[in-house]
Structure 1
Amino acid sequence: MVHLCRIRLRKYGNFVDNLRLYVRGGAGGMGLPRIGGHGGNGGDVWVVATKSMTLKKVKEKYPQKRFVADVGGNSSVRSLKGQRGNDTEILVPVGVTVTTDDDRILGDLNAEGDRVLVAKGGHGGSFSSSFLPSKGQSKLIRLDLKLIADMGLVGFPNAGKSSLLTALSNATPQIASYPFTTLKPQIGKLVYEDHNQISVADLPGLIEGAHMNKGMGHKFLKHVERTKQLLFVVDVCGFQLASQTPFRSAFEAVQLLTKELELYKEELVSKPALLVVNKMDLPEANHKLEQLKEQLLNPEEFCHTLPNDMTPKSHLAFRHVVPISATTGLGVDRLKAFIRESLEEEASEATEMFRQQRLQLLRQHSQ
């Protein structure tokens, strides 16, 4: 078995995960009347992904939040075609979705170098054809960062997600906090002995009603969209968020987490998922674990303890159910192996599906 040797953690500082900007393409240039010149087109405004940028840097560098491309050049005696205006590029981090103010998606930036055109420059004027120069497009856009990770830790507060990330690294993570109230999301890189890397996102804890934007709500759930797989983390003995809220067993926690994902965006529950049952060092943990396993095998039989509106439409079939103790290290090495195995299995399935699709297309073309 290949063991994880360490985990590298990315520091985000005071995190900014959304910005609203004004963008405007450059106006077109004038055509010279006497000799039929044509003005140059205005420059465009692009949003471009780069790994060296954060939205916090964009906010600090451009406090006015205005990005305007250059105007097109006028034609002249020496140049009948006016020079095109220079483009303006807004450098943003990988993982940004660009939308208009009315939530229309302009594009996703999932890799370094990805580009989205957000404001096109105006056309240059032509006197001979009575074509006047036009203004560039102008609009308000939103940059919404959704963290990209291989695995996303999903759990209610105090399930032990941060402790789990610490246990995976055998070290204390040094992570600057996001300003998501008092919670501290983290992204770590699990680095294997053969140098393979897996990114794991420890996201803010959900509460019941998160799909309605209660608690961290959408600030949490939007980041789940950009993870390949989900790593559910539950306390084997259950939890109670506050004295006025009901106690939830480990099984109920799994169902409530599933429902929150389902209500926010139903396709989230189609992601491959593993279940980590934490705090196995507690008294009666083994008995509670056996109860949970039985309940997961027959979820419909045990869902009657939940309100009807909090029962998920479908029940997750976890690839692995892994009991651990983040405190003592019990089961952590086994979990590390399962995480890699699950991701490699998914990659293999995707490759085989692509191969079958290509074969089918080739057969269709040869007929």
Structure 2
Amino acid sequence: MHFRREKHVDKGGPDGGDGGRGGHIILKGSAQLWTLLHLKYQKHIKAKPGRAGEGGRRTGAEGDDVVIEVPLGTVARHAETGERMAEITEDGQEIILLHGGRGGLGNDHYKSSTRQTPDYAQPGEPGQEAWIILELKLLADVGLVGFPNAGKSTLLSVVSAAKPEIADYPFTTLVPQLGVVAYRDYKSFVMADIPGIIEGASQGKGLGLRFLRHIERNSILLFVVPATSEDWAAEYETLLNELRQYNPELLDKERLLAISKIDLIEEIDYSTVIDRLPAGIPTVFISAIRQQGLMELKDLIWKALTRTED
């Protein structure tokens, strides 16, 4: 609220300016980030309020926005309702997560022929406040799906420059790993090594839902079954069933099968193992240690990727 006061003008009219809006909280996608670890110790994020209006119909300054950079594949959910508020999928994409409060109107807006000296102004709106859960779902062309110790990490380490932890015991991989796989004619695609699934993962057993949510963001699912498994088809069906129970839409994705660790068994007579393979899924036999069948696997993946893009 303000009235014009100048020399020789002791009773000027109202000239109070509007208040500036408060700062927004904005999510911005960054291809340079891979995790949300930089936000781990930033529990409270607060934008600055707008400044009050001034005399001479001058509008107050807007509060500074707070831009939170997050990796691609980040989903923001309301902590209380579970509502999905935003989803970042592109580099540079910006989404206003919480809006700053709107600035109020100065008393200049309330003057009229019958009300020439309004002695009030509109207060500004309060800003939005909420607890938000940020969840990262990996974006990759190919996601590796298999039981613990199926050879997924070894495969990724051989076909890309990624260096996941590898050991001869289950659940060596505790967090998803990404690797860029070089292909013919300088082409490439991104492969994700996701922590191993166990029977009952869709109900939260093992790493459970922490792992399954990452599978949603892969164009192609590459099932990895070790050659030492007693029943290849049964193991594949168990994996498929866990995905079905978690999210039936996952079954709409293109699926490939790699029988890994063929170096651990005797010479395979491929004509006699056809019956052991699940029907209707392209299959390749590989050995990451001997680098056997890897080019054939890449060809299979590239053909599937080009089909999904079409």
The alignment's TM-score, normalised by the length of structure 2, stands at 0.83
Any gaps of 5 or more consecutive residues in structure 2?
4-13, 111-120
Query: Match for residue 274 of structure 1?
Result: 256
Q: Which has the higher contact order (CA 8 A, sep 6+)?
A: 1
Q: CA 1:285 to 1:215, structure 2 compared with 1: closer, same or farther past 3 Å?
A: farther
Query: Match for residue 343 of structure 1?
Result: 305
Q: Determine which of 82, 94, 100 is the counterpart of 2:78.
A: 100
Q: Determine which of 205, 210, 214 is the counterpart of 1:214.
A: 205
Give the Å deviation of 1:64: 4.1
Return the alpha-carbon distance in structure 1 between the equivalents of residues 131 and 267 of structure 2.
53
Give the Å deviation of 1:274: 0.6
Three-state SS of the structure 2 residue aligned to 1:189 is strand
Query: Match for residue 247 of structure 2?
Result: 265
Query: Match for residue 302 of structure 1?
Result: none
Query: Match for residue 139 of structure 2?
Result: 148
Q: CA 1:76 to 1:183, structure 2 compared with 1: closer, same or farther past 3 Å?
A: same
Whether the aligned pair in 2 keeps the contact of 1:47 and 1:90 (CA below 8 Å) is yes
Alignment root-mean-square deviation, CA? 2.5
Amino acid aligned to 1:119: L
Structure ID, larger Rg: 2
Q: CA 1:32 to 1:293, structure 2 compared with 1: closer, same or farther past 3 Å?
A: farther
Whether the aligned pair in 1 keeps the contact of 2:16 and 2:54 (CA below 8 Å) is no
Please say if 1:191 is aligned against 2:182. yes
Query: Match for residue 322 of structure 1?
Result: 284
- Percent of aligned pairs sharing the same letter: 35
Q: CA 1:174 to 1:281, structure 2 compared with 1: closer, same or farther past 3 Å?
A: closer
Question: 1:48-107 deviations in whole A, cap 9, x for unaligned?
Answer: 111233411222xxx342221221111112453222222111111121111111211111
Q: Determine which of 58, 63, 73 is the counterpart of 1:85.
A: 63
Return the alpha-carbon distance in structure 2 between the equivalents of residues 340 and 295 of structure 1.
22
Return the alpha-carbon distance in structure 2 between the equivalents of residues 74 and 227 of structure 1.
49
Q: CA 1:76 to 1:123, structure 2 compared with 1: closer, same or farther past 3 Å?
A: same
Q: Is 187-196 or 225-234 further displaced after alignment?
A: 187-196
Q: Determine which of 13, 38, 58 is the counterpart of 1:57.
A: 38
Give the Å deviation of 1:258: 0.3
Q: Determine which of 211, 226, 231 is the counterpart of 1:235.
A: 226
Q: Is 45-54 or 262-271 further displaced after alignment?
A: 45-54
Q: Determine which of 294, 297, 308 is the counterpart of 1:332.
A: 294
Matches within 5 A, 1:292-303: 293=275, 296-297=278-279
Query: Match for residue 126 of structure 2?
Result: 135
Whether the aligned pair in 2 keeps the contact of 1:237 and 1:288 (CA below 8 Å) is no
Q: CA 1:323 to 1:292, structure 2 compared with 1: closer, same or farther past 3 Å?
A: same
Give the Å deviation of 1:337: 1.3
Q: CA 1:168 to 1:182, structure 2 compared with 1: closer, same or farther past 3 Å?
A: closer
Question: 1:95-122 deviations in whole A, cap 9, x for unaligned?
Answer: 1111111211111111111122111111
Q: CA 1:256 to 1:32, structure 2 compared with 1: closer, same or farther past 3 Å?
A: farther
The alignment's TM-score, normalised by the length of structure 1, stands at 0.70
Q: CA 1:32 to 1:284, structure 2 compared with 1: closer, same or farther past 3 Å?
A: farther
**Matched residues, number:** 282
Question: 1:237-285 deviations in whole A, cap 9, x for unaligned?
Answer: 31xxxxxxxxx62111100100111111110111001100122234467
Q: CA 1:76 to 1:127, structure 2 compared with 1: closer, same or farther past 3 Å?
A: closer
Whether the aligned pair in 2 keeps the contact of 1:236 and 1:288 (CA below 8 Å) is no
Return the alpha-carbon distance in structure 2 between the equivalents of residues 345 and 181 of structure 1.
33
Give the Å deviation of 1:345: 2.2
Q: CA 1:105 to 1:285, structure 2 compared with 1: closer, same or farther past 3 Å?
A: farther
Please say if 1:286 is aligned against 2:268. yes
Q: Determine which of 138, 146, 163 is the counterpart of 1:174.
A: 163
Amino acid aligned to 1:93: P
Give the Å deviation of 1:343: 0.8
Give the Å deviation of 1:216: 0.9
Give the Å deviation of 1:168: 2.6
